[in-house]
Amino acid sequence: MDMPTPDPAILSRKAAIVARLRAVLPADAVIWDAAELRVYECDALTAYRCPPLAAVLPRTTEEVSAVLRLCHAEGVPVVPRGSGTSLAGGALPTADCVILGVARMNAVIETDYDNRFIRVQSGRTNLSVTGAVEADGFFYAPDPSSQLACAIAGNIAMNSGGAHCLKYGVTTNNLLGVTLVQMDGTVVQVGGPYMDAMGIDLLGVICGSEGQLGVVTEATLRILPKPEGARPVLMAFDANEVAGECVSDIIKAGILPVAIEFMDRPCIEACEAFAKAGYPICEALLIVEVEGSPAEIDEQLARILEIARRHNPVELREAADEDQARRIWLGRKSAFGAMGQINDYMCLDGTIPVSSLPYVLRRIGEMSRAVGLDVANVFHAGDGNMHPLILFDANKPGDLERCESLGADILRLCVEVGGCLTGEHGVGIEKRDLMAVQFTAADMEAQLRVKDVFDPKWLLNPAKVFPLGVTAGRRAA
C-alpha cells in the first residue's frame, strides 16, 4: 500500500511543532514519545502501520480549533481519529502527520425527548449514545457491529450503517447537525435540532467525507422511541439462489423487517464450530427480525413464514422466548470472531442490487476456487450490502497479496453488476486505488473540488479516499 513520502521538513521540525502544540493544549493532551505513539500507528486495518509525528487529545471544540489553526499555519497534515475501529484504514497516520483523537470529548451535552434528539461530543461511543437514553425508552438507530467501541465522530466520517439500517437508515439519515472545525480553525455550525438544511445541504456531504472536510466535534442525533419488542426467525435453504429469491419476495410483499441477515455455508460451518449456536448446516441461512407488540410480530412473521414456505426451506425456526432469540443471533454475531479464530481474514463490504445476489455469490465461489482462498459470506441481505470474508494466512508469503487481489476482483464484480465498492466501511486507503473502477475522472474531480472548498491546502487526512496519483497535484500545493 503506497503512502506519500513524509515531508522531511516537517519531520525535522518535530520538536518545534510539539512545543507549539503544548502551548495551546494541556500538558496531558499532547503525545510525542515514540513508544506512546505506537497506540496510534494503525486502526482496525492492522496490516498497515505507521506511527504519527505526534498525537493530540483535545477536550473542547476550542482546543480542536487551536490545534487545526496551528497545523494549518505549519503546513502539517492532520489525521482525525475517533476510536480507531476503521476497517478501511481511515485513521492510518503518515509519519509527518498529527493524529487528532476525539476520544476525550465524550460528554452528552443535551437530551431532548419531546424534540427527539440528543447532542453529544463526537468522541462518545455509538453504544453509549443509546446508553444515555435507553432507560427512558429511546435509542440511537445506526448500529455498526463495532458499536461498543466506535465513536460517533468515526460514524459520521464513514456514514456508518449496521444490521438494522434496513428500517432505520444509516448515519446520514439520523444526523441533524454538527459542529465542524475546518482545517484553518474556523468553527461552523451546520444544521441543528430541526429537519431540513438551510440552503445547500452541507451536512449531507460532511457525513461520509472520511474526515477530509473538517473535524466534527459535536453532533445532534435523532433518537427514536424503542419498539415494544423484536423477534428473529431463522430460515435455512439448500441453495443461495433460493434464499436470495426469498429475500426479494419478502421485500416485494411490503413487509419491512428491521434486519435480514444472510450467511452462506462456509460462514455457517465456521460459526457453528466456534459459537455452537445450533444452526442447521445448509447452503444458506437467513435471519429475519421484525419489531412491534407480540401480536404485531406474530402478524408479520406469519406473512414472512408463508413466503419462506413457498421456497421449500430446509428448516424454519421461530424464537419462542428470549433465550431462543439470543441463540438465533449468537452465530451471526460471532461470525467475525469465528473467522478470526480459524484464519486471518479480510472483510469487504461492497453493495450490490438485491436482484444480483445469486449471480454474485456464484461468481465469488468460482473466483475463490480459482485463487485457492476460501471466502465466507455474511451480509445484510435486505439492502444488498455484502460482507465477503476472504480467509488467508498472514504468515504465508504472498497470501496477503493474493487476498487483496481477490478482494479487488470481488469489488470490481460488485460495481459491474450495478453496485458499489463500499456500503458502510468507507474507502480509506483500502479501496482508494479502486475508485477509478466506479468513477470516471470527472466524477472524482467533482468530489475533489468539494475538498478544495473546505480544505484548500489539502492537509486533512490527505492520502485517503482517492488514488494518490489523482490527488498528487493538490496535496503538493
Partner 1 sequence: MRPVDEAELAEAVRGANGPLRIVGGGTRGIGRLGVAEVLDVSGLSGITLYEPGALTLVAGAGTPVAEVEAVLAAERQRLAFEVPDLRRLLGRSGASTLGGVVAANASGPRRVQVGACRDALLGVRFVDGAGVVVKNGGRVMKNVTGYDLVKLMAGSQGTLGVLTEVAFKVQAVPEAEATLVSGPVGAAAAVAAMAVALTSPFDVSGAAWDGRVLVRVEGMAGSVAYRAAELAKRLPGFAAVTGADSAALWAGVRDVTAFAGGIGAVWRVAAKPSDAPAVLAALQDMPHRAVMDWGGGLIWLLVEGDGGAEVLRSAVTRLGGHATLIRGDLECPVFHPEPGPVAALTAGLRATFDPRGIFNPGMFGPGMFGKVA
Q: Nearer to partner 1 by C-beta: 21 or 386?
A: 386
Output phi, psi for 454, to 5 deg.
-80, -35
Footprint of partner 1 on 130-169 (CB under 8 A): 137-138, 158-159, 161, 165-166, 169
Q: Nearer to partner 1 by C-beta: 78 or 357?
A: 357
By CB under 8 A, tell whether 358 contacts partner 1.
Answer: no
Q: Nearer to partner 1 by C-beta: 9 or 441?
A: 441
**Region from 122-130, 264-272, 396-404, 430-438 binding partner 1, contact rule CB under 8 A:** 430-438
Q: Nearer to partner 1 by C-beta: 331 or 428?
A: 428
- Parallel, antiparallel, or unpaired: how do β-strands 259-264 and 315-318 relate? unpaired
Contact map string, positions 219 to 258, toward partner 1, x by CB under 8 A:
------xxxx-------------------xx-xxxxxx--
Q: Nearer to partner 1 by C-beta: 78 or 360?
A: 360
Burial 467-477 (b: 16+ CB within 10 A, else e): ebebbeebeee
**Residue 146 parent element (H or E):** none
Q: What is the greatest pairwise CA distance in the chain?
A: 71
Q: Nearer to partner 1 by C-beta: 278 or 418?
A: 418
Beta bridge partner(s), residue 218? 121, 179
By CB under 8 A, tell whether 407 contacts partner 1.
Answer: no
Q: Which of 27, 47, 50, 128 is nearest to 82 (CA)?
A: 128
The nearest distance, CB 25 to partner 1, in angstroms, is 23
By CB under 8 A, tell whether 442 contacts partner 1.
Answer: yes
By CB under 8 A, tell whether 185 contacts partner 1.
Answer: no
By CB under 8 A, tell whether 265 contacts partner 1.
Answer: no
272 CB-near residues (< 8 Å, 6+ apart) = 278, 279, 281, 331
Which residue's entry shows cell 450490502? 385
The nearest distance, CB 172 to partner 1, in angstroms, is 7
The nearest distance, CB 349 to partner 1, in angstroms, is 8
By CB under 8 A, tell whether 452 contacts partner 1.
Answer: yes
The nearest distance, CB 466 to partner 1, in angstroms, is 8
**Residue 398 parent element (H or E):** none
CA pair distance 307, 384, nearest whole angstrom: 19
Alpha-helix residue ranges (DSSP H) falling in 334-477:
335-342, 357-371, 399-416, 435-438, 441-454, 468-476
The nearest distance, CB 51 to partner 1, in angstroms, is 28
Footprint of partner 1 on 186-225 (CB under 8 A): 186-190, 192-205, 207-209, 225
Count of residues binding partner 1 (CB under 8 A)? 97
Contact present, 387 and 347 (Cβ < 8 Å): yes
Footprint of partner 1 on 317-356 (CB under 8 A): 351-355
Q: Nearer to partner 1 by C-beta: 343 or 356?
A: 356
**Residue 74 parent element (H or E):** helix 61-74
The nearest distance, CB 162 to partner 1, in angstroms, is 10
Q: Nearer to partner 1 by C-beta: 343 or 377?
A: 377
Footprint of partner 1 on 71-130 (CB under 8 A): 112-116
Q: Which of 278, 250, 246, 282 is nearest to 263 (CA)?
A: 282
The nearest distance, CB 91 to partner 1, in angstroms, is 15
Contact map string, positions 363 to 402, toward partner 1, x by CB under 8 A:
-----------------x-xxxx-----------------
Contact map string, positions 19 to 58, toward partner 1, x by CB under 8 A:
----------------------------------------
Q: Nearer to partner 1 by C-beta: 215 or 427?
A: 427
Count of other CB atoms within 10 angstroms of residue 250: 23
The nearest distance, CB 192 to partner 1, in angstroms, is 5
Residue type, 466: F
- Sign of the torsion angle spanned by Cα atoms 296, 298, 300, 301: positive
By CB under 8 A, tell whether 419 contacts partner 1.
Answer: yes
Of 93, 232, 388, 423, the residue at the interface with partner 1 (CB under 8 A) is: 423
Residue type, 216: V
Which residue's entry shows cell 460482507? 387
Q: Nearer to partner 1 by C-beta: 327 or 387?
A: 387
Output phi, psi for 182, to 5 deg.
-80, 165
Q: For 363, which DSSP code? A: H
C-alpha cell at 199: 440552503
Residue 118 Cα distances to 102, 124, 125, 227, angstroms: 18, 12, 13, 18
Q: Which of 128, 220, 232 is nearest to 180 (CA)?
A: 220
